[in-house]
Chain A
Amino acid sequence: EDKVVQSPLSLVVHEGDTVTLNCSYEVTNFRSLLWYKQEKKAPTFLFMLTSSGIEKKSGRLSSILDKKELFSILNITATQTGDSAIYLCAVAGMHGGSQGNLIFGKGTKLSVKP
């Protein structure tokens, strides 16, 4: 059965700290791995990763994929209170013989204290 596991499930840090969020997966016919940030409403897209070892960066956020070890990390440096959110990892693969859909992890709830 396809699965995506995120750790930790929750994390509390102080402003200025650096955090690393983890995502491991077991998915048939892996296509890509995506990270989303969810605040009060809908998830918003952060990164899509398809190749191992290539870091994607956006400001203080960065992410990398290891397709051999089947995991990805999301790094946030110099955290701010606005980074407080649930971070979702999702993997696109084949599911039930259909064209496929995203399989989500349960998310990591990050709380950044001032």
Chain B
Amino acid sequence: DVKVTQSSRYLVKRTGEKVFLECVQDMDHENMFWYRQDPGLGLRLIYFSYDVKMKEKGDIPEGYSVSREKKERFSLILESASTNQTSMYLCASSLIQYGYTFGSGTRLTVV
């Protein structure tokens, strides 16, 4: 089975801190995605990547950046965390665009 691992389940950070969320998949998938999930808003795409060193903005990229130096790892970076970035962050990977496999999520609280 494909496994997508997110490094932290729960994270509390202070406003202004630089935050790194890590995601690793073990099935050589080309495609990786970062979403955030908020009540009443559903899943919203932040960034995605179709290859190493390649990234594309999703629907809400402001305040975020990403890094994909290796195929298996896709990192989401909050350059200067703000309280409105408190959310559940979900990473996903897929070999083609169908049938995503999600990580277990990171619940980030910015205080």
Q: Are A32 and B104 in contact (CB under 8 A)?
A: no
B56 within 8 A of A: yes
* Chain B residue with the shortest CB-CB distance to A92: B97
Q: Are A101 and B58 in contact (CB under 8 A)?
A: yes
- Complex CA gap A107/B43 in Å reads 9
A102 within 8 A of B: yes
B74 within 8 A of A: no
Q: Are B105 and A102 in contact (CB under 8 A)?
A: no
- Report the minimum CB–CB distance from A35 to chain B (whole Å): 11
Q: Are B98 and A48 in contact (CB under 8 A)?
A: yes
Size of the chain A interface, CB-CB below 8 angstroms: 22
Q: Are B45 and A88 in contact (CB under 8 A)?
A: no
- Report the minimum CB–CB distance from A86 to chain B (whole Å): 9
Interface residues of B in 50-96 (CB under 8 A from A): 50, 56, 58, 90
User: With contacts A42-B90, A92-B97 known, is A104 near B43, CB below 8 A?
Assistant: yes
Q: Are A102 and B97 in contact (CB under 8 A)?
A: yes
Q: Give every chain A residue within 8 A of B105 (Cβ-Cβ).
A: 41-42
- Report the minimum CB–CB distance from A54 to chain B (whole Å): 16
Q: Are B42 and A99 in contact (CB under 8 A)?
A: no
The contact sample of 18 A-B pairs, CB cut-off 8 A, is A31-B97, A31-B98, A41-B104, A41-B105, A42-B4, A42-B104, A43-B102, A44-B102, A48-B98, A92-B97, A99-B50, A101-B45, A101-B97, A102-B100, A104-B35, A104-B42, A104-B44, A107-B42
What 8 pairs between A and B have smallest CB-CB spacing?
Answer: A106-B42, A42-B102, A104-B43, A41-B104, A42-B104, A100-B97, A92-B97, A104-B42
- Residues on A facing B (Cβ under 8 Å): 31-32, 34, 41-45, 48, 88, 90, 92, 96, 98-102, 104-107
